[in-house]
Every structure is written in C-alpha cells, then in structure tokens.
Amino acid sequence: MALKAKNIDINEAVSVHIGPHIASHMTAAMFDTFSSGRPNRHRISVFESANSIVKQLNQLMPDVLLCYPSTMMRLLQTDLQKQLHINPKIIVLNSETLSLSLRQRVKDQWPDAIVLNLLGSTEGGVMAINCIQQHKLHVNEDLLIIEPHKTGMYLTNLFNYTFPLIRYEMQDQIHLFDQPCACGSSYQVIEEPQGREAAIFIYNDQTHILYVVIGGVLDRLASLSGYHVWQTKNGIELGVLEKECMDVNKIIKALEHSLADAGLHQPLVTVKFLTELNRGRTGKLITFIPLKSETL
C-alpha cells in the first residue's frame, strides 16, 4: 500500500536495512529472503559508527529505509543531521517502541515520507504494520491471531506447520479496537504498542511505572541519541553519553515530577555519564533495566 501510494516500483526501488548481521534475526532474515535477485537491496550493520552509516546512506540514497527507532535517534543528532542528504520516500521503524516525539522528528526531517511502525517478532514474523492514513496498526490476520492479556499478548501463528505456536505468550502491550479502520481496511486494528512487560518498573509498594512515564519526558526535553534507565529502589538512574548536550537539573526535576505523578512516593533520579551504550547481539538498544525482585 505504501509503495503504491508513493508510486514506487518494488523492483527498481533502492532499499536499505540498518540492522544486525545475524541470519536468525527476523528482520534480517526477511530482508535477505525478499532481496534475492534484486541488486538494489542493501544492508548496513547497526554496529557501525554513526558517521559510517551516514556516509553509506548518502552513497546509496535509499527510497525505502528500515531501521530501529534507536538507530534513527542516532541519525537525527544535530551534528549528523546536517551531514545526512538522503530523501527516503518510505521509512519503516521496527523492533523497538516508536515514541510519538521520535515519529514527529522523523516527519520534520522528511515531511513527504511515509513513516511506518512495524510490529514483528521472530515467532510471528510481521504481525502488524501502520495504516498509512493514521498511527493505528493493521494486524496481519491472514497469518496469525493476537489476543491481549494482562501482562502482554498471546500469539497464534497460522503458517508455521513445522513448529506451530498456539497462544504463545509475548510481552508486547497491545490494545484492540472494536471499530474497523477509517481507511476501509477490514483487518483488525490495534493501537501502536507502548512497550513490553520488561519495560515496566514495579516497586515495593506495587507502584507500576510504564516506560512512557520516563521516555515521554526524555523525548520531550532532550534530543538524545539513546539512553539507559536503571530502576533503583526509590527511583531511577539515567545513563547518557558524555557528549550529549542536556540540562541535567531540568531533566532530573522533570523525571521526578513525572514519576511522582505516576504514583511513586518521593522518587529519586540520578544521572550517570557513559562512554558508550549497551546494545544486545542484534543491535537493539537495551533501554530499560528493571531491578531483580530480590533487590527491591
């Protein structure tokens, strides 16, 4: 649908995927599978330096760009943003939570591009993708069934006959809409996922802090290339790169206020400066790190 909306010929379009060089990773495997025989498909390792990624993007000039939201945050840093001369028509952000503020930053950078949020997993493949008219997602009901539950969702895939999954429990937090999509699609509509169970901090008094309580403040007040948030007994510790420009005191006060509004009693926020950020083996940024229950 997005390709048609932008009059892009799939056989001619230049597509670039910034991601892991791991064959078993779903996004990498799908990109390689459907790139067979097409010379205009390119992959850049997410572990390369930001300057190297920008240089390659400027050489390739992609029509379609696929990457993690955290990778896009790196590209939109002020110093790199000025060096980036690409004009993608479609941008697909996947595998991590896409915040509204980052979506807006992408639209500000490329006003004419279609920005798509893709919900996928190794177990279910592409489970849902944005409607091109709004931020809600269409579920890929031809190939799977998803059902929300208290701490995430159940996935039943309808295509894996070798190893079928029936009501497989996942941590993605989803909300199903009763009404059909305004665009006319008959597929089930869900709200954009707002994180996973692992991104919920639970404190001794049973206060639950969702990632949006913290991430919303950081997205609004600081244009960071990425960060870590460690849960502490009485609040959080924020880890940012040494080179980041930010008003530390303003960020601390805003985070403490947001945590208090969410129900945490007298929250304490500290900031730690880092030389690098920790990414998993697939290149995903490990953003929220909860305390183990025995240390609470």
Amino acid letter for position 23: A
What is d(CA 222, CA 250) in angstroms, rounded to the nearest whole number? 10
- Whether 217 contacts 294, CB under 8 Å: no
Contact in structure between 35 and 41 (CB atoms under 8 Å): yes
Query: For residue 16, what are the β-bridge partners?
Result: 42, 65
With b for 16 or more beta-carbon neighbours within 10 A and e for fewer, the 156-173 pattern comes to: ebeeeeeeebeebebebb
For 285, the token pair is 């940024």
Query: How are strands ordered across the β-sheet holding 137-139?
Result: 41-45, 15-19, 64-67, 90-94, 114-121, 125-130, 137-139, 189-190
pLDDT of 27: 57
Given a contact cutoff of 8 angstroms between Cβ atoms, the answer to whether 67 and 17 are in contact is: yes
Query: Distance (Å, rounded) from C-alpha 251 to C-alpha 50?
Result: 25
CA 13, 18, 22, 26 torsion-angle sign: negative
Are 59 and 83 in contact by the 8 Å Cβ rule? The answer is: no
Class of domain 200-295: alpha beta
Q: What is the pLDDT of residue 238?
A: 94
The predicted pLDDT at position 201 comes to 84
Token readout for 104 is: 């807006």
Q: Which pLDDT value is given to residue 6?
A: 62
* Among 111, 97, 130, residue whose Cα is nearest residue 2: 130
What pTM does this model have? 0.72
Give strand pairing partners of 138. Answer: 129, 189
How many CA atoms lie less than 13 Å away from 250 in the CB half-sphere? 8
Architecture of domain 2-190: 3-Layer(aba) Sandwich (3.40)
pLDDT for 61 equals 94
Strand 137-139 versus strand 125-130 pairing type: antiparallel
Both tokens of residue 11? 């056989």
Q: Any residues with CB less than 8 A from the CB of 60 and at least 6 apart, and which?
A: 14, 16, 42
Q: Residue 263's closest CA among 191, 182, 174, 203?
A: 203
pLDDT by 10s per residue, the chain, length 296 = 655 656 667 778 889 999 876 544 555 556 565 555 566 888 898 888 888 999 999 999 999 999 988 888 888 876 677 888 999 999 999 887 787 778 888 999 999 999 998 888 878 888 888 888 888 889 998 999 989 887 788 999 888 888 889 999 887 778 888 888 888 888 999 888 766 545 678 888 678 887 778 887 887 776 777 889 999 999 999 998 877 777 889 999 999 999 998 889 999 999 999 888 877 766 677 788 888 765 55
CA distance 52 to 74: 12
Q: Report strand pairing: 15-19 vs 41-45.
A: parallel
Backbone CA torsion sign across 295, 215, 248, 76: positive
Distance CA 173, CA 85 (A): 36
Map out the domains of the chain as residue ranges: 2-190, 200-295
Residue keyed to tokens 């880890």: 239
DSSP assignment letter at 197: G
